[in-house]
Chain A
């Protein structure tokens, strides 16, 4: 079974600075998807960024980018120019591409605080 590990329960960053959240995963599959979800105090799960394992290029969405190291099974999230609204729980998630109905496997999350 696949597992996702987020080794940083809590992180903090100064406003306008850059922070990197770590995620590692364990799988024997070669085709899969990786995601970062943001969960603010409202509890809504919001997709931040997605990476297809077959793509070598790292995904980028505005201030959010990932460092995908397939051989190392590492998938870190970098947030640039941090804003107060970035404060939230961040979950790394894995989804197999073997079939369309496979669920997401989540890490335990990293709580990010942004200091003004």
Chain B
């Protein structure tokens, strides 16, 4: 299994540009999450999804949008990039059974907005 994959690994954007960060998992997990990690900080939740067609805001959703049309994919959209969105973005997924509450993370996308 590939687990959670993210593309691209690195990206440089100019202010005002848009882009989509891709996230795919092949573990048939219903729950998926997007986090951002700023330098010297832990991860903060941007958006999450409990299944196809269902998404909800996390702690820091402003400037981002998500969609969940399939169980496998959970893309994150930046519409008008700002320097404050320079960060490392992690996608994660988790299974639904109570016995396993851990989250499985992708390798991250390092985004720089200049």
Contact-size category for B:
20 to 34
Asked if A16 is at the interface (CB within 8 A of a chain B CB), the reply is no
Q: Does B90 contact A108, Cβ atoms closer than 8 Å?
A: no
Interface-centre pick from B40, B56, B96 (highest chain A CB count, 10 A): B40
Asked if B58 is at the interface (CB within 8 A of a chain A CB), the reply is yes
Pick from B41, B88, B96: contact of A108, CB under 8 Å = B41
Contact-size category for A:
20 to 34
A95 to B58 alpha-carbon distance, docked (Å) = 14
Q: Does A100 contact B96, Cβ atoms closer than 8 Å?
A: yes
In order of increasing CB-CB distance, the 9 nearest A-B pairs are A106-B42, A45-B105, A103-B45, A101-B50, A43-B108, A33-B101, A106-B43, A108-B42, A47-B102
Residues of A within 8 A of B (CB): 4, 33, 35, 37, 42-45, 47, 50, 91, 93, 95, 97, 100-101, 103-104, 106-109
Residues of B within 8 A of A (CB): 31, 33, 35, 40-45, 48, 50, 56, 58, 88, 90, 92, 96, 98, 101-105, 107-108, 110
